[in-house]
Amino acid sequence: MNILEILSSRVDELGAGDYIQGLRAVLQHIEVAEKHLDRGKGSGDDTAFTDAIYRTNQAFEGSLKEAFRVLAGKDPSRETPNNIEIYLQKHHLLRPRVLAQLTNYRTEWRNPSTHDYRLDFDEDEALFAIVAVSAFAIVLVDQITERIAYDLAKTIAAEHPSPSPPEESLLERTANLLEHFVVQFSGTHVDKTDVREVEVIGALSGFLDAAASDLNFESDTLSPHVIGDLLVNTENEVLVIEVKTGRRRWNKAAIQHSISRMVAQPILNHDNDVILFFYSGENSGRFIREEQLLPKNRRLLVLAVI
């Protein structure tokens, strides 16, 4: 697994935008950091490892700035990295896993190399820094991807509202909305069969925000009581949506296998109804819709695009 290739492909998937130039610069800094690492290993010049850290610091700050540009909708050019970190954390714009990567890199590499000019790093530390900042950039780009998908889907859904009878149960109403979402999302991704989960979740969140503004939505839910990709709630009901994507069309055997694996997971160990939503970019537009009864009279609705 080449972590830099993963980052490069994720950036390529984003398409055009004012964030691309900055993310390309992030890639370049990491590539140069790898060259410094190789130089240090090959020449015996230990200062090359510290040079690698300085490059990964640039990649770290560049990743933050481009995330700030997209997630906060603000120009990062006049903001310090510290102000950007504070803003992103204060406004809860970073997911827990992203925040963990940020804290890890800042405390282990960025702060020591910035504040102690006498500090030297060795080969292992340079290697860890390159891996850490690459992982950080990847998860940030994933969150940028999700936000872009959210904005696009929300805009389109607002222009083409979907009927949704309010007298339906939350489960039924959301399931019907999901079918409308598939029509919209497939229409904007006609030539893209390899659709990743973050893009579907982002687009679904944006669609639901526009199509059902009276409902409350929270993505990437993680708590002691509820785990799921999307949490939908009203004053009286709570529903969890778990999203599964695949490159090939879903069939009944694959869906059942996936359900069997997920039944033992924490997503189903709570008191709310659940929708398992299966999506593949390579689909016929047909749906499989099945319902199972869970303990405590909870309902599990399987909605798959095949």
Domains contained in the chain, number: 2
131 and 182 in a single domain? The answer is no
Pairwise CA distance, residues 205 & 199, whole Å: 10
Nearest-angstrom CA–CA distance, 48 and 41: 9
Residues 122 and 197 in one domain: no
Q: Are residues 143 and 171 in the same domain?
A: no
Amino acid at 36: H
Confidence of residue 195 (pLDDT cuts 50, 70, 90): confident
CATH number at residue 44: 1.20.120
DSSP line for 28-81: HHHHHHHHHHHHHHHH--THHHHHHHHHHHHHHHHHHHHHIIIII-S-GGGS-H
Same domain flag for 194 and 125: no
Q: Both tokens of residue 162?
A: 């979907």
| Residue 202 CB partners (closer than 8 Å, separation 6+) | 145, 146, 147, 148, 149, 150, 153, 219
Is residue 233 located within the same domain as residue 292?
yes
- At residue 162, the pLDDT reads 67
Q: Are strands 273-280 and 238-246 parallel, antiparallel or unpaired?
A: parallel
Residue 191 in domain: yes
Distance, CA of 7 to CA of 142 (rounded, Å): 10
Query: Which of the four pLDDT bands, split at 50, 70 and 90, describes residue 238?
Result: confident
**What is the average pLDDT across 234-249?**
83
Domain's final residue, options 119, 148, 177: 148
- On whether residue 154 sits in a domain, the answer given is no
**173 and 82, same domain (yes or no):** no
Q: What is the CATH number of the domain that holds 260?
A: 3.40.1350
Domain stop point among 97, 118, 148 = 148
Q: Is position 160 within any domain? A: no
Do 31 and 126 share a domain, yes or no? yes
Which residue, of 120, 148, 176, is where some domain finishes?
148
Is residue 39 a part of any domain in this protein? yes
Do 112 and 233 lie in a common domain?
no
Give the model's confidence band at 221: pLDDT under 50 very low, under 70 low, under 90 confident, else very high. Answer: very low
Q: Which domain holds residue 21?
A: 3-148
For 144-167, letters b (16+ CB in 10 Å) and e give: bbbbbbbebbbebbeeeebebeee
7-63 pLDDT, tens digit each? 999 999 898 899 999 999 999 999 999 999 999 998 878 889 999 999 999 999 999
Q: What percent of the chain has pLDDT over 90?
A: 35
Contacts by 27-35, CB closer than 8 A, 24 or more apart: 27/59, 29/55, 29/56, 29/58, 29/59, 29/62, 30/4, 30/55, 30/56, 30/59, 30/130, 30/133, 30/134, 30/137, 31/4, 33/59, 33/126, 33/129, 33/130, 33/133, 34/4, 34/130
241 in a domain, yes or no?
yes
- Which has more confidence, 126 or 283? 126
The pLDDT of residue 177 is: 92
> What is the pTM (predicted TM-score) of this model?
0.86
Q: Are residues 77 and 21 in the same domain?
A: yes
Q: Are residue 131 and residue 252 in the same domain, yes or no?
A: no
Q: Does 128 share its domain with 216?
A: no
What digits encode the pLDDT tens for the residues 75-134? 998 898 889 988 988 888 888 778 888 888 888 777 777 756 667 888 998 999 999 999
Same structural domain, 74 and 14: yes
Q: Is the pLDDT of residue 262 over 80?
A: no
Q: Mean pLDDT throughout 265-287?
A: 76
In a domain, 190, yes or no: yes
Cα–Cα nearest to 163, from 190, 147, 183, 146: 183
Q: Are strands 216-222 and 227-233 parallel, antiparallel or unpaired?
A: antiparallel
Maximal C-alpha separation, the chain: 73
Residue 242 within a domain = yes
Q: Is residue 257 part of a domain?
A: yes
